[in-house]
């Protein structure tokens, strides 16, 4: 099953602000998520129905709607001590 990847406004803004090399790695990860959103370094976040995927120093925070066959990317964050707070 193929999934459609949708970027929330916040994720789009975060993606536009990244350096070109990092942006390419994120795009590649998003393309891989179309085939299987749970492949790679993915962990379910505690207390929520969301997941995070690690791509270098960045984290893609997303949810999955299996009925619609969609992945909603909520945010793309640079990893820091306050990323998940």
Share of the chain above pLDDT 90, in %: 78
DSSP strand pairing (4-7 vs 51-55): unpaired
- Cβ atoms 61, 50 nearer than 8 A: yes
Does some domain include residue 65?
yes
* pLDDT, position 17: 86
Residue 85 lies in a domain: no
pLDDT (0 to 100) of residue 80? 73
Q: Considering the chain, what is the average pLDDT of its residues?
A: 91
Total domains in the chain come to 1
10 lies in a domain?
Answer: yes
**Residue ranges making up the domain that contains 18:** 4-78
CATH at residue 51: 3.30.2310.20
pLDDT more than 70, % of the chain: 94
pLDDT at 54: 94
- For the stretch 19-56, pLDDT in tens is 999 999 999 999 999 999 999 899 999 999 999 999 99
Q: Is the pLDDT of residue 85 over 80?
A: no
């Amino acid at each position: 099953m193929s999934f459609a990847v949708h970027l929330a406004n916040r994720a789009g803004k975060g993606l536009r602000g990244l350096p070109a090399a990092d942006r390419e790695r994120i795009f590649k990860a998003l393309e891989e998520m179309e085939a299987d959103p749970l492949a790679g370094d993915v962990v379910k976040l505690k207390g929520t129905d969301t997941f995070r995927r690690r791509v270098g120093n960045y984290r893609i925070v997303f949810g999955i709607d299996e009925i619609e066959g969609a992945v909603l990317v909520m945010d793309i964050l640079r990893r820091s001590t306050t990323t998940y707070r």
